[in-house]
């Protein structure tokens, strides 16, 4: 971080250039994983590619596909553009810091169907002004984050589900590897979130895959873990494939469905607005975490 208005930080993938606002250094849209597109859809997040030179990190990335009107109404504002290529994070850090600072990683809410780390309520300047390094994270939502289907189970390798939670784990791994370059202390990371974000924190507290990646947790408007059984999630995936005229779908055929096609669906295949309350939505219509996935195992 050398220039006062264009702070530089060297990550494992390359150098990023941010901006400075009101005494806070800000880096927006840093990739923490490879784009989960094509053959990487519905797979565990992969490491981001390296780059040469300096990458500009002065604009938020696209958010995961979602219902824009629903997000504007209940999610905290306009999430901006949508893309499957959404695995990015944002960092706020004090412009001057004498020692490594505590790190706070924020997981947004939205019923696992809407939201983004770039929404106005999640601006990290206020917290960063209190000598904290703040990180906000995008992760896959809805169908892209929690789809299950027998064809995916038949692929070689470890069975993995709950891709949104795996995204969050990948972001925490990135923080462990790189946050020192932004003035943060990788040994003092607090994970916090609200609603679905709080639900995610609870899940990661119970997952061995997240062990050692954070040290404290804050649960805001959290709720218990009424996860779907794996069999129910697979049945929901089969119904979705049949809707797209794929009763005997292969993994390749499923990955060829355009991402935007999922959000024009009607209930019960869509991510859904709350019919009367957020609780009813989460119980009946939303694509959400399920058990037993390899990404969520009890200690």
DSSP string covering the chain, please?
A: --SSSS-EEE-SS-EEE-EEETTEEEEEEEESS----GGGTTS---PPPP-SSEEE-BSPPPBPS--HHHIIIIISS----B-S---EEEEEEES--SSPEEEEEEE--STTTS--TTSGGG--HHHHTTT-EEEEE----HHHHH---HHHHTSSS-----HHHHHHHHHHHHHHHHGGGGTEEEEEEEEEEETHHHHHHHHHHH-GGGTTS-SEEEEES-----PEEHHHHHHHHHHHHHHTT-TT--HHHHHTS-GGGGGGPPTTSS----SS-HHHHHHHT----EET-TTS---
The angle at the Cα of 155, spanning 34 to 269, to the nearest 5 degrees, equals 75
User: Does residue 66 form part of some domain?
Assistant: yes
Q: Within a domain: residue 270?
A: no
* Two tokens, residue 17: 């250039």
- Residue 161 tokens, joined: 């589900």
> Structural domain tally of the chain?
1
For residue 146, give both structure tokens. Answer: 């929690």
Distance between CA 112 and CA 286 in Å, rounded? 8
pLDDT score recorded for residue 223? 77
* pLDDT (0 to 100) of residue 276: 38
The tokens describing 223, both together, are: 């709720």
Cα gap 199→207, rounded to integer Å? 13
Question: Can you tell me the distance from the alpha carbon of 102 to that of 215, in angstroms, rounded to the nearest whole number?
Answer: 11
Q: How many CB atoms lie within 10 A of CB 88?
A: 26
Q: Which two tokens stand for residue 159?
A: 């069975």
Q: Could you count the other beta carbons within 10 Å of the beta carbon of residue 299?
A: 7
- 145: domain CATH number is 3.40.50.1820
User: Is residue 65 in a domain?
Assistant: yes
Per-residue confidence in pLDDT tens, the chain, 299 aa: 455 678 999 999 999 999 999 999 999 999 999 999 999 999 999 999 999 999 999 999 988 877 666 656 665 666 767 799 999 999 999 998 778 999 999 999 988 888 898 888 999 999 999 999 999 999 999 899 999 999 998 886 767 789 999 999 999 999 999 999 999 999 999 999 999 999 999 999 999 999 999 999 999 988 776 677 888 889 989 999 999 999 999 999 999 999 888 877 665 666 544 433 334 333 344 566 766 544 554 33
| Structural domain containing residue 140 | 8-220
Is residue 296 included in any domain, yes or no?
no
Would you say 63 and 80 are in contact if contact means Cβ atoms under 8 Å apart? yes
pLDDT at 57: 97
Residue 164 resides in a domain: yes
Identify the CA nearest to 241 among candidates 154, 160, 161, 147.
Answer: 147
Residue 292 lies in a domain: no
Would residue 178 count as lying in a domain?
A: yes
For residue 3, being part of any structural domain is answered with: no
């Amino acid at each position: 971080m050398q220039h006062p208005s264009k702070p530089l930080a060297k990550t494992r993938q390359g150098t990023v250039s941010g901006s400075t606002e009101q005494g806070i250094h800000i880096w927006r849209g840093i990739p923490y994983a490879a784009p989960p597109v094509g053959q990487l859809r519905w797979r565990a997040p992969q490491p981001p590619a390296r780059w040469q030179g300096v990458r500009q990190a002065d604009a938020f990335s696209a958010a995961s596909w979602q219902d824009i009107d629903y997000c504007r109404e209940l999610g905290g504002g306009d999430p901006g553009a949508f893309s499957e290529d959404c695995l990015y994070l944002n960092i706020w850090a004090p412009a001057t810091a004498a020692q490594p600072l505590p790190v706070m990683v924020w997981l947004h809410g939205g019923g696992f169907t809407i939201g983004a780390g770039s929404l106005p309520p999640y601006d990290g300047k206020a917290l960063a002004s209190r000598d904290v390094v703040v990180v906000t994270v995008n992760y896959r939502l809805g169908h892209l984050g929690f789809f299950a289907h027998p064809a995916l189970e038949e692929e070689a390798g470890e069975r993995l589900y709950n891709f949104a939670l795996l995204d969050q784990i990948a972001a925490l791994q990135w923080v462990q590897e790189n946050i020192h370059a932004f003035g943060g202390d990788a040994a003092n990371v607090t994970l916090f979130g609200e609603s679905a974000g709080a639900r995610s924190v609870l899940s990661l507290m119970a997952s061995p895959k997240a062990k050692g990646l954070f040290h404290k947790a804050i649960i805001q408007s959290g709720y218990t873990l009424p996860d779907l059984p794996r069999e129910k999630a697979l049945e929901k995936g089969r119904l979705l494939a049949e809707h797209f005229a794929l009763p005997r779908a292969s993994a390749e055929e499923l990955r060829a469905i355009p991402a935007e096609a999922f959000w024009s669906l009607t209930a019960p295949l869509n991510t859904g607005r709350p019919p009367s309350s957020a609780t009813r939505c989460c119980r009946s219509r939303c694509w959400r975490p399920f058990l037993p996935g390899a990404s969520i195992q009890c200690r």
